[in-house]
Amino acid sequence: MSEFRSKFLEVYSLLKSELLHDSAFEFTDDSRQWVDRMLDYNVPGGKLNRGLSVIDSYKLLKQGEELSDDEVFLASALGWCIEWLQAYFLVLDDIMDNSVTRRGQPCWFRVPKVGMVAINDGIMLRNHVLRIIKNHFREKPYYVDLLDLFNEVEFQTTSGQMIDLITTLEGEKDLSKYSLPLHHRIVQYKTGYYSFYLPVACALLMAGENLDNHNDVKNILIDMGIYFQVQIGTDIEDFKCSWLVVKALELSDEEQKILLHENYGKADEDCVAKVKELYKALNLEGVFAEYESKSYEKLIKAIEVHPSDAVQAVLKSFLAKIYKRQK
């Protein structure tokens, strides 16, 4: 639990208020209310891990120095930029995937009277990121680097989403295409950059670092993202290239492969149950536990060769958060 959580939530209200009174657009009452409701519905609803990680990482980089109110505010603002970016991805993802719920409530486009207006709302959320950065960082020496960072991560995430969508196209139900390298690529681009690298990169920029000097940090964080994105969720019904199905294909005999081919990617409960039974029979939980402990050791080794204690502390705190995480 981040010590900055309540401060962080206060910053959301302030940023929202600025956006609702942006002088570049003349709001009507209706349009202001719409954006207000859209933001509250989509931005602050998650666990806020990514956003809070910016402040936590920045504090670790400052090696225990007390942060000024301004530093906490700026780190929070960048944290919220990541939460806004994620909201933009999720609002549009849910439309593409024709999803029903998100975070325990109907997807935004499923809300009465929203429908396809949600596409424009998604684009609006993306624009808000740039407005927030402009409002609070344009005088900073790292302003351009910050814009570059967000643009690059957005491009990588969008490209990851593309390979995920292309892989799961209805007509392409050919499981033999699924492999560990493909799974790694999807996870690396679709979630790794914005969930793992982006929060730390924001903190590094705020601390006056040049990101070009921190490629090793990026690689370690992306590896963390790959190791810990073993999602179960609705991956079976949605024909997702998940770590579990890739491993199942590796470990299955011919008969089990046929069972997978026949039942994977179907919304039918019986089909899903058969796939889950196969996962049990193959002891995938045990296989995963072994994979997880090996990857943990590998990551610790990679972190401990880093020359900076402060950077090591940031990476270890990330690892500790994820390693405890039980889906």
Q: Is the pLDDT of residue 172 over 90?
A: no
CA distance 86 to 191: 10
pLDDT in tens, 187-236: 999 999 999 999 999 999 999 999 999 999 999 999 998 887 765 667 88
* CATH number for the domain whose boundaries are 1-139: 1.10.600.10
Q: Which single residue is written with the structure tokens 């409960």? A: 269
Domain parsing of the chain, residue ranges: 1-139
- Buried (b) or exposed (e) across 138-158, using 16+ Cβ within 10 A? eeeebeebbbebbeebbebbe
The torsion region of residue 316 among left (phi > 0), alpha (psi -120 to 50) and beta comes to: alpha
Q: Helix, strand, coil: what percent of the chain each, to 5?
A: 75, 0, 25
pTM here is: 0.92
Return mean pLDDT, the chain: 92
Per-residue pLDDT tens over the stretch 269-291:
999 999 999 999 999 989 988 88
Confidence of residue 327 (pLDDT cuts 50, 70, 90): very low
**Which pLDDT value is given to residue 43?**
97
Question: What's the rounded mean pLDDT across residues 245-268?
Answer: 92
Q: State the Cα angle at 295 between 290 and 297, rounded to 5°.
A: 100
